[in-house]
Amino acid sequence: MSKNLLAKRLKLPKVFILFIVIFLSCTSLIFINYFTIKILSANRAYVNGESHYSKGQKDAVRYLITYLYTEDASQWTLFKEEIRVPQGDGLARIGLLNNVDTEIIRKEFLEGRNHQDDIDDMIWLFRNFNHISFFKKAINEWEKGDSLIGQLSTVATKIDVAIKKTNRLDTDSKRVFLSQITVISDKLTINEREFSSTLGQGNRDIKMLLIYTNIFFIMIIICSVSIYYAVMVKRLLKSKQEIETKNDDLLIVNKELDRFVYSASHDLRSPINSLKGLVDILKTEENPEEIQNYLNLMESVLNNQDQFIKDIIDYSRNKRTKDTFEKVSLIQMVDDAIDQLQYIQEVKRITIKKELLVNETYSDKLRIRIIINNLLSNAIKYTDFEKEHPFIHIKTYRSSDLIVIEFEDNGIGISEKNQSRIYDMFFVTNKNKGTGLGLYIVKESLDNLKGSITVESQINIGSKFIVKIPYHSQE
């Protein structure tokens, strides 16, 4: 099998390729939207977690300041409860960085008052996207905030130790502690704002990226669908055109078939009627010489009938047989054709010259045989035996990418007005010599082979039929 044929067989139809493009685009769109929504959801969870972080820190500061001035133990308890919120988030961050067990991380996120349904997405986002610029910056701000929470816890511990040690702090000590708390709280406010701002900008960037990605894939899908419909419309138009062409061909074929049936039935019945008439005459004829003449006439009628049946068989084969390319020997074909026509008595008087310069080609053996047999048979039928040296010259040669087969004779020739009609079905120049199918079948066979035939002829001089068929060096 040639590489070109293999490539054609492996080549996917355009419509199938379009379906693949649409399927991949839709699949990609689904995955991209799914993971983008997952990222946005996890990002929202972190923003929401930051609000709990910020509220817990601010409430803790408020309770710590109240504890500083009132020295009420319940306020210290409330401070420890609220400071646990940002501390829980901080421990979760450290656990994520150190690949601690997921359940421990989940427990710390719950301490940070994050919703339990958001925690899995938060862990997934941190572990898979902590190297992304906006999220990396947010984690950095988170780390700074945890450091400030640690400083706030240290100051709170000092306040608690001082209160429990002295029972009452002096005004200066309170002022110093308050100043420290205020500084840390202000820094935390800035830090928390930066954390939220970074995640918010990340959300906006992801949203725009999602919009552009959706537009890109939707455009691919729209273009693919448009191309698909264009291809289908083109195919429908082509199919319509092919159907119209086939309908026209069918009309022509039906007309040819009607004509063929009419002419064939007429030509089949005429010899039978002739034979019946000759048989009736023979029944009453007693003269041996006349009987012999009538028998010769009957033989001629039967030979013509035999040729007509052969032509019908060739016509049928040519119509229903598909092209089958195989190795063909032109020399063998010509020799076989000559051998098959040796039974004709007049053939012995004809000089058949062969000049076969090309022998092998790859083509349809049946149709090549039909062409050679019919053209040789025609040359014999229309031989001018009044000439001293009747001849038929058969020649083959190459001309560029064509094989040329010539049949030249010095027979009775064809008039110029009939040369354009000799390939029509049932057209004959002499009803006693042909059926009108031979050259029609030759032309049909050459059309199948994408070949051609031309004729050069003069009355009483002779004829030359020139056949050209494509040359193929391999199957």
Buried b (16+ CB within 10 A) or exposed e, 452-462: ebeeebeeeeb
> What is the rounded distance in angstroms from the CA atom of residue 99 to the CA atom of residue 93?
10
Give me the mean pLDDT over the 231-240 stretch: 82
Strand partners, 463: 409, 457
**Short-list 279, 284, 276, 306, CA closest to 294:** 279
Across the chain, mean pLDDT equals 81
Strand partners, 468: 404, 452
> What is the rounded distance in angstroms from the CA atom of residue 92 to the CA atom of residue 83?
15
Most confident of 15-19, 135-139, 249-253, 451-455: 451-455
> What is the rounded distance in angstroms from the CA atom of residue 40 to the CA atom of residue 201?
11
- The rounded radius of gyration (Å) of the Cα atoms in the chain is 51
Check residue 239 and give its pLDDT: 85
Is the pLDDT at 261 greater than 60, yes or no?
Answer: no
Check residue 392 and give its pLDDT: 92
> What is the rounded distance in angstroms from the CA atom of residue 228 to the CA atom of residue 247?
28
Total-model pTM: 0.48
Give me the mean pLDDT over the 59-71 stretch: 90
Check residue 390 and give its pLDDT: 92
Strand partners, 404: 397, 468
- Please, which pLDDT band fits residue 194 given cuts at 50, 70 and 90? confident
For residue 325, give both structure tokens: 């390319």
pLDDT tens digits, one per residue of 92-105:
889 988 988 999 99
Check residue 303 and give its pLDDT: 65
> What is the rounded distance in angstroms from the CA atom of residue 374 to the CA atom of residue 440?
10
Give me the mean pLDDT over the 51-55 stretch: 89
- Please, which pLDDT band fits residue 6 given cuts at 50, 70 and 90? very low
Check residue 106 and give its pLDDT: 92
Residues comprising the chain, all counted: 475
Q: What are the domain boundaries of the chain?
A: 13-231, 323-470
Give the count of beta carbons closer than 10 Å to the beta carbon of residue 205: 13
For residue 317, give both structure tokens: 């084969």
CA separation, residue 280 to residues 130, 274, 288 (Å): 114, 10, 16
What DSSP designation does 12 have?
P
What architecture (CATH level 2) is domain 323-470? Answer: 2-Layer Sandwich (3.30)
Is the pLDDT at 193 greater than 70, yes or no?
Answer: yes
Is the pLDDT at 210 greater than 90, yes or no?
Answer: no
Most confident of 33-47, 283-297, 303-317, 450-464: 450-464
Check residue 9 and give its pLDDT: 47
Please provide residue 139's backbone torsions phi and psi, each rounded to the nearest 5 degrees: -65, -35
Is the pLDDT at 1 greater than 50, yes or no?
Answer: no
What is the share, in percent, of the chain residues with pLDDT greater than 90? 19
Check residue 7 and give its pLDDT: 46
Strand partners, 69: none
CA 233 remoteness from chain centre: 16
Burial zone of 53 (CB within 10 Å; 0-12 exposed, 13-18 middle, 19+ buried): buried
Check residue 308 and give its pLDDT: 56
Check residue 453 and give its pLDDT: 93
Is the pLDDT at 394 greater than 90, yes or no?
Answer: yes
pLDDT tens digits, one per residue of 166-192:
877 888 888 998 999 999 989 989 988
Considering only residues 453 and 15, tell me which one the structure prediction assigns the higher pLDDT. 453
CA separation, residue 269 to residues 29, 261, 298, 438 (Å): 76, 12, 14, 19
Check residue 10 and give its pLDDT: 44
> What is the rounded distance in angstroms from the CA atom of residue 96 to the CA atom of residue 124?
10
Check residue 266 and give its pLDDT: 46
Is the pLDDT at 241 greater than 80, yes or no?
Answer: yes
- Please, which pLDDT band fits residue 34 given cuts at 50, 70 and 90? confident
Give the count of beta carbons closer than 10 Å to the beta carbon of residue 244: 10
For residue 159, give both structure tokens: 């306040």
Cβ–Cβ < 8 Å for 440, 446: no
pLDDT tens digits, one per residue of 322-375:
667 788 888 998 988 888 766 666 777 888 898 988 888 888 888 888 899 888
Burial zone of 287 (CB within 10 Å; 0-12 exposed, 13-18 middle, 19+ buried): exposed
